[in-house]
């Protein structure tokens, strides 16, 4: 089965699963969209699934367990450079006897792989994959799941967690209501949450991570790291050879870093809630104290500042992968 046949089969599966025997509403549109264009969705309801495919053109399938025609206006606009789909409610939101459950509405979208994507919904989760272009997604009512993207990603939600993986570009992830998980990014990362923990694995560029409601756990940091938590501990494992330093701090727990023993950095560590311990060789500057450590690794370099007011600080060595 070739790629086109597989794509058609997947679309049929999506369509059949979305239009169950209980679906009260279905609307489908095929739109002109060439590779290199843009696709924009502005929706006041619904969860969204967007997938990039090799074929030209965009397809949009909207299904719901309620009759959307009563309360929503639909617009499908085609221009030489892109497509815009708008789903707007006509009046105030119904709470009883109407469409207050946004997850009852599903929006399935296919676009060419090479497409800039902008998705905005106030009613549910967003899942986007296999796109080569700029990806911007925003929801006020659900989670974000972004994968297999070649391009910069900007994701924002007020109502759920964020999961991103396999991104070849810079990442900006913000949520007020959940955790953040990011894996395999070839670029810079900024991740901020007020409502959960942050886990990040394998980032080649600089990294900023901040949370008010959980811990921060970073592995394979390839660039400078600025990581902070007000609600838990912070652990940062620098990639072998990383000497770019940063700031790692916590007011709600301990701080732990793993760094290549051959890295050239200047250490400035202090703990007001415990001691400072180091397993890597540091040339001490000034007086030796239990709660602080200042000195250079391998002659010094960019500063790695470590701060904890809720526990201790520990510095350990990162071993290099065995050569083959």
Mind listing the pLDDT tens digit for each residue in 174-233?
A: 999 899 999 999 999 999 999 899 999 999 999 999 999 899 999 999 999 999 999 899
Domain boundary among 123, 138, 160: 160
Q: Is the pLDDT of residue 10 over 80?
A: no
> Considering only 89-103, 138-152, 294-308, which range has the smallest mean pLDDT?
89-103
Range of the structural domain that residue 279 is part of: 207-324
Q: Report if residue 268 sits inside a domain.
A: yes
**Confidence category of residue 159, pLDDT binned at 50, 70, 90:** confident
Asked if residue 213 and residue 151 are part of one domain, the reply reads: no
**pTM score, two decimals?**
0.88
Which residues does residue 43 pair with via DSSP β-bridges, in sequence order? 87, 121
Mind listing the pLDDT tens digit for each residue in 237-257?
A: 999 999 999 999 999 899 999
Asked if residue 151 and residue 222 are part of one domain, the reply reads: no
Q: Report if residue 190 sits inside a domain.
A: no
Residue 9's pLDDT is 46
Q: Report if residue 172 sits inside a domain.
A: no
Asked if residue 270 and residue 213 are part of one domain, the reply reads: yes
Asked if residue 16 and residue 138 are part of one domain, the reply reads: yes
Count of domains observed in the chain: 2
In sequence order, what are the residues at sequence separation of 6 or more whose Cβ sits closer than 8 angstroms to the Cβ of residue 13?
A: none
The C-alpha atoms of residue 135 and residue 218 are separated, in whole angstroms, by: 24
Which residue from 268, 313, 255 is spatially nearest to 295, judged by alpha carbons?
268
The C-alpha atoms of residue 152 and residue 4 are separated, in whole angstroms, by: 27
Quick one: 115 exposed, middle or buried, by C-beta within 10 A (0-12, 13-18, 19+)?
Answer: buried
Asked if residue 211 and residue 283 are part of one domain, the reply reads: yes
DSSP symbols for 216-285: EEEEEE-S-EEEEESSS-EEEEEPTT----EEEEESSS-EEEEE-TT--EEEEEEESSS-EEE-S--EE-
Q: What is the mean pLDDT of the chain?
A: 89
Q: Report if residue 92 sits inside a domain.
A: yes
């Amino acid at each position: 089965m070739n790629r086109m046949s597989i794509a058609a089969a997947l679309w049929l599966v999506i369509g059949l699963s979305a239009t169950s025997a209980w679906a009260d509403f279905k609307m489908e549109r095929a739109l002109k969209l060439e590779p290199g264009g843009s696709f924009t969705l502005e929706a006041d309801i619904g969860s969204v699934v967007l997938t990039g495919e090799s074929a030209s053109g965009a397809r949009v399938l909207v299904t719901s367990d309620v009759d959307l025609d009563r309360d929503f206006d639909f617009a499908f606009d085609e221009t030489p450079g892109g497509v815009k789909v708008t789903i707007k409610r006509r009046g105030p939101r119904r709470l009883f006897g109407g469409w207050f459950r946004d997850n009852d509405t599903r929006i399935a979208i296919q676009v060419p792989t090479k497409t800039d994507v902008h998705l905005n919904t106030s009613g549910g989760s967003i899942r986007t994959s296999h796109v080569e272009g700029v990806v911007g997604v925003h929801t006020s009512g659900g989670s974000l799941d972004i994968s297999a993207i070649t391009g910069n990603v900007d994701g924002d939600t007020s109502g759920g967690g964020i999961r991103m993986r396999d991104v070849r570009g810079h990442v900006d992830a913000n949520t007020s209501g959940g955790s953040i998980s990011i894996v395999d990014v070839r670029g810079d990362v900024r991740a901020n949450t007020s409502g959960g923990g942050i886990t990040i694995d394998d980032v080649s560029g600089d990294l900023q991570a901040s949370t008010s409601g959980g811990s921060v756990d970073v592995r394979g940091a390839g660039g400078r790291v600025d990581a902070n938590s007000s609600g838990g501990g912070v652990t940062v494992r620098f990639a072998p050879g990383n000497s770019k330093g940063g700031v790692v701090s916590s007011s709600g727990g301990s701080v732990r870093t793993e760094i290549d023993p051959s890295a050239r950095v200047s250490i400035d560590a202090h703990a007001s809630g415990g001691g400072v311990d180091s397993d890597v060789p540091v040339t001490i500057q000034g007086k030796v104290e239990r709660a602080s450590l200042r000195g250079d690794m391998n002659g010094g370099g960019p500063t790695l500042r470590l701060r904890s007011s809720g526990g201790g600080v520990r510095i350990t060595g990162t071993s290099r992968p065995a050569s083959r």
